């Protein structure tokens, strides 16, 4: 089989990483470490440590101090996550281009240099600024706090400034996730046919779906660090629900088109087999059985049972379950710790 030439795409993040030749994970760790180091220096210089010591609180025990550290970790993580998303998307598109699924020529989404509109991505990032006051209000429940001098010490100031950068980067990331997911959905619907006997060529659609669910997992994992704080219950419920919906949507969009094509292919093949069982002439035209000796009734029944058992999604339920377990372990760990803390607090008064 002659494969189509893989697509070479110019990514948005290529410009930066060509000038900063570091692995994304290393760069993210350096950004987070630098931010936390700067936060510690500012805390020492402004007397924030002394302010908490008077209240017999360590930095991590302070809500504002803890959130300041969390947003620093997020700001280091999200650029690396965006880079890995773009690299993973390119690998999945290259795999589809090499699989020769479109004999008549590559569809337009595979021939374009990149996807999405930079202005739309920036607009989506800017809209993320609204999350900062929303989260703050669901935690504090008192907007008048933001107009008092005692509220604005180092922790909140750092959270609002660095958090704005986090939501901006996160907004761009979410834009890329859903833009790329829609591209895969269009590619799936443009498939001329699918092979029920070999679904391996469709795995890039499943990999893209799993890749699209990563941003929400990252956010929930870090946000779960605050579950031990009773003030975060409402914020956790609202944002957790929103992230679950976003993750489910981002997971399904790249695979839904393939699901529709697989279901249609199964329906057509079962209809052909049923027609052959009824004895209709040329009923198996277009079926894999058409190129063999005329099958008997037992063979037709066995083939129909096989086709009915073919999964209608490009990912197995067991694989999806393992993914959910792996990414859920950190979140479940923090939730368990928060529950233990609440139980101990109530038991000890």
Tens-place pLDDT, residues 209-228:
888 887 777 777 777 666 66
Looking at residue 327, its pLDDT comes to 57
Q: Which residue stretches of the chain are H helix?
A: 14-19, 24-46, 48-54, 63-98, 108-111, 118-127, 131-140, 154-189, 203-212, 214-223, 233-277, 297-309, 317-347
Report how far residue 142's alpha carbon sits from residue 212's, in angstroms, rounded to the nearest whole number. 35
Report how far residue 8's alpha carbon sits from residue 159's, in angstroms, rounded to the nearest whole number. 39
Looking at residue 32, its pLDDT comes to 92
Which residues in the chain land under pLDDT 50? 1-4, 8, 334, 337-338
State the burial class of residue 322 (Cβ atoms within 10 Å of its Cβ: 0-12, 13-18, 19+).
exposed
- How would you label 172-201 residue by residue, b for 16+ Cβ within 10 Å and e otherwise? bbbbbbbbbbbbbbebbebbeebebeebeb
Tokens of 109: 């989404």
Report how far residue 14's alpha carbon sits from residue 221's, in angstroms, rounded to the nearest whole number. 27
- How would you label 330-342 residue by residue, b for 16+ Cβ within 10 Å and e otherwise? bbeebbeebeeee
Looking at residue 116, its pLDDT comes to 67
Q: Are 7 and 95 in contact (CB under 8 A)?
A: no
- Residue 238, C-beta contacts closer than 8 angstroms, at least 6 positions apart: 138
Closest CA to 111 of 3, 9, 258: 9
Looking at residue 2, its pLDDT comes to 44
Looking at residue 37, its pLDDT comes to 93
Looking at residue 36, its pLDDT comes to 93
Q: State pLDDT tens for residues 178-200.
A: 888 888 888 888 888 887 777 78
Tokens of 265: 């292919």
Instruction: Give the number of other Cβ atoms within 10 Å of residue 347's Cβ.
Output: 7
């Amino acid at each position: 089989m002659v494969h189509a030439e893989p697509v070479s795409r110019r990514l948005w993040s290529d410009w930066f990483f060509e000038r900063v030749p570091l692995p994304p994970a290393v760069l993210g760790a350096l950004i987070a470490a630098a931010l936390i180091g700067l936060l510690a220096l500012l805390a020492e210089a402004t007397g924030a440590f002394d302010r908490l010591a008077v209240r017999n609180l360590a930095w991590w025990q302070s809500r504002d101090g803890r959130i300041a550290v969390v947003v620093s970790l997020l700001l280091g993580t999200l650029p690396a996550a965006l880079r890995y998303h773009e690299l993973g998307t390119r690998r999945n598109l290259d795999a589809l281009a090499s699989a020769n699924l479109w004999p008549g020529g590559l569809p337009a989404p595979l021939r374009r240099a990149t996807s999405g509109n930079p202005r739309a991505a920036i607009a989506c990032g800017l809209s993320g600024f609204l999350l900062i006051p929303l989260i703050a209000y669901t935690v504090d429940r008192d907007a008048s706090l933001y107009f008092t001098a005692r509220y604005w010490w180092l922790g909140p100031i750092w959270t609002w400034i660095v958090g704005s950068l986090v939501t901006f980067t996160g907004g761009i990331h979410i834009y890329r996730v859903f833009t790329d997911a829609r591209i895969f959905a269009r590619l799936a619907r443009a498939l001329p046919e699918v092979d029920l006997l070999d679904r391996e060529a469709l795995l890039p659609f499943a990999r893209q779906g799993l890749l699209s669910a990563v941003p929400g997992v990252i956010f929930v994992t870090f946000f779960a660090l605050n579950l031990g704080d009773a003030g975060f219950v409402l914020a956790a419920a609202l944002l957790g629900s929103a992230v679950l919906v976003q993750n489910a949507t981002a997971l399904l969009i790249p695979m839904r088109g393939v699901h529709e094509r697989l279901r249609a292919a199964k329906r057509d093949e079962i209809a052909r087999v049923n027609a052959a069982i009824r004895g209709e002439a040329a009923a198996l035209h277009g079926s894999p059985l058409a190129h063999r000796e005329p099958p008997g009734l037992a063979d037709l029944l066995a083939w129909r049972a096989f086709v009915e058992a073919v999964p209608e999604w490009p990912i197995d339920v067991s694989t999806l379950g393992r993914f959910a377990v792996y990414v859920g372990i950190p979140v479940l760990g923090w939730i368990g710790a928060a529950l233990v803390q609440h139980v101990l607090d109530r038991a000890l008064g």
